[in-house]
Amino acid sequence: MTSRNTATHYGSITKTFHWLTALLIFTAFALGLYGTRGIDFSTEAGVSQAAFVFSMHKTVGITAFFVAVLRILWALTNTKPGLLNADHKLEAALAEIVHWLLYISLVIVPLSGWLHHAADTGFAPIYWPFGDSLPFVPKSEAVSAFFSGWHFVFTKVLALSIFLHIAGAIKHHVIDKDATLRRMLPGTPSLPAGIDTHHPKGPVFAAIVIYLVAMGAGSAIGLQAKHSETEAAELAEVSSDWQVQSGTLGLTVKQFGSDVSGTFKDWTAEISYDEASQTGDLVVTVSIGSLDLGGVTAQALGADYLNAAMFGTATYTATIAPTDTGHLATGTLNLHGVDAPLDLPFTLSITDGIATASGSTEIDRRTHKIGEVQPTENNLGFGVSVSFELTASQAE
């Protein structure tokens, strides 16, 4: 048996690519099914197991992608053996269509999954040497949902293609009793003379049409996906000595060892501050339901974590005093129904009645009884980093 294909037989390299691809794809399918249907997510152990299973699923899938690309490149530089049933025109055409569907699926399915993952936040990480991010792919729930739609549709196309491919191979071996299956196994089986090595172009175009339809269906599903939306408590406007003109209030949590960052879209600040003494008072109210934490927003706002339905707002009440390096707000944070002391160091500069300030601190989620279903840091870190930037003008 030679390494390269001939007009009648497959070479050893093609056979190796075929069976290695099959192993990787069946492994990825099995991991994906087990991860979605076979794990109890209500316990920390279950979440840890799910993270491992999905990390393996993604890593195996991306490995299959690179193997598929190499397989296609190898196929393009080799002779394609003729069909053993070329005289059965319809069956031969269907076999060619299935082969092209398999080739394209083996690229698009893992690639769409990788793009979905790269645009998402709060994920089971992909294992080395593959990365969790891709160039030119933004962290975006909409982008992630779009490629998720592709992944959903093309996995069905791939599964159907594999089923038809296997069914065809079994038919050839059991019913037709020809060497179609045996010539993909080790060795060089004897074949009848006069094999038709011509491959019509029609099945290629038929496969392209099927994929265009699948792309349209996947795009429609992705674009129509409902993004995470939670009813947020509406905050009333506040008046104070200093009026916030613009600003951001963000947080970062560590999930599965990776930082996941987000922002609160709705918050207010009542600020009184005396420039002469550099002292003042501060009351910040945050609409918890306005949190945008990417793909894990709904989970973060759920009953096991921030529970936005029951605890719609958080309030930080503090006094402001100068320090050697800037300022310090010392006060109490009411979050998740629990009051706890919190210090917030920040920098402040005031020019012509315009103040700019920024600072950060860290909250221990256990203090506020958040995420008690995750009692260790195996999946979710204890520390939550909170940061802010704002520009305020002095009220007239």
Asked whether residue 229 carries a pLDDT value surpassing 60, the answer given is: no
Instruction: Please check the confidence at residue 20 and state whether its pLDDT lies above 70.
Output: yes
Q: How does DSSP classify residue 184?
A: G
The predicted pLDDT at position 271 comes to 95
- Least confident segment among 85-89, 92-96, 109-113, 132-136: 85-89
Q: In this structure, what are the phi and psi dihedrals at residue 260, rounded to the nearest 5 degrees? A: -120, 120
Q: What is the pLDDT of residue 362?
A: 97
pLDDT at 125: 86
> Residue 231 pLDDT > 70, yes or no?
no
Mean pLDDT of 325-341: 97
CA distance 231 to 155: 34
The one-letter amino acid code at 10 reads: Y
Tell me the backbone φ, ψ of residue 190, rounded to 5 degrees: -75, 140
**With 90 as the cut, is the pLDDT of residue 295 above it?**
no
Residue 51's Cβ-count burial label (10 Å; 0-12, 13-18, 19+) is buried
Contacts of 132 (CB under 8 A, 6+ apart): 117, 118, 123, 125, 126, 258
* Confidence category of residue 154, pLDDT binned at 50, 70, 90: very high
Give the start-to-end residue ranges of the domains of the chain.
12-223, 242-394
Give mean pLDDT, residues 119-142.
84
Please give the C-alpha separations between residue 76 and each of 11, 70, 73, 92, 228, in angstroms, as whole numbers: 14, 10, 5, 20, 44
Render pLDDT for 166-223 as a digit per residue (tens, 0 to 9): 999 999 889 988 888 888 998 888 877 667 666 677 888 999 999 999 999 999 999 8
Is a pLDDT exceeding 60 seen at residue 228? no
Most confident of 190-194, 223-227, 270-274: 270-274
Q: Lowest-pLDDT range, 228-242, 261-275, 296-310? A: 228-242
Look at residue 197 in the predicted model and tell me its pLDDT: 63
- E strands present in the chain: 242-255, 258-264, 267-274, 279-287, 291-292, 313-322, 327-335, 338-351, 354-364, 383-394
Least confident of 28-42, 120-134, 165-179: 120-134
pLDDT of residue 284: 97
Q: Which pLDDT value is given to residue 230?
A: 58
Three-state secondary structure call for residue 88: coil
Options 3.40.50.920, 2.40.30.10, 2.40.128.110, 2.40.50.100; which CATH number does 242-394 get? 2.40.128.110
Give residue 333's pLDDT band: very low, low, confident or very high (50, 70, 90). Answer: very high
Average pLDDT over residues 13-40: 92
pLDDT at 227 over 60: no
SS3 313: strand
- So what's the pLDDT on residue 196? 65
| Residue 202: count of CB within 10 angstroms of its CB | 11
Query: pTM for the full model?
Result: 0.79
Which residue matches tokens 């491919």? 165
**At CA 74, angle to CA 68 and CA 76, rounded to 5?**
105
pLDDT at 390: 96
Tell me the average pLDDT of the chain.
90
Residue 136 zone, left/alpha/beta (φ > 0; ψ -120 to 50; rest): left
Task: Determine the Cα–Cα distance for residues 28 and 5; give it in Å rounded to an integer.
Answer: 28
Would the pLDDT of 85 be above 80? no
Cα–Cα distance list, 201 to 91, 98, 137, 194, 198 (Å):
15, 13, 35, 21, 10
Name which of 183-197, 246-260, 280-294 the model is least confident about: 183-197
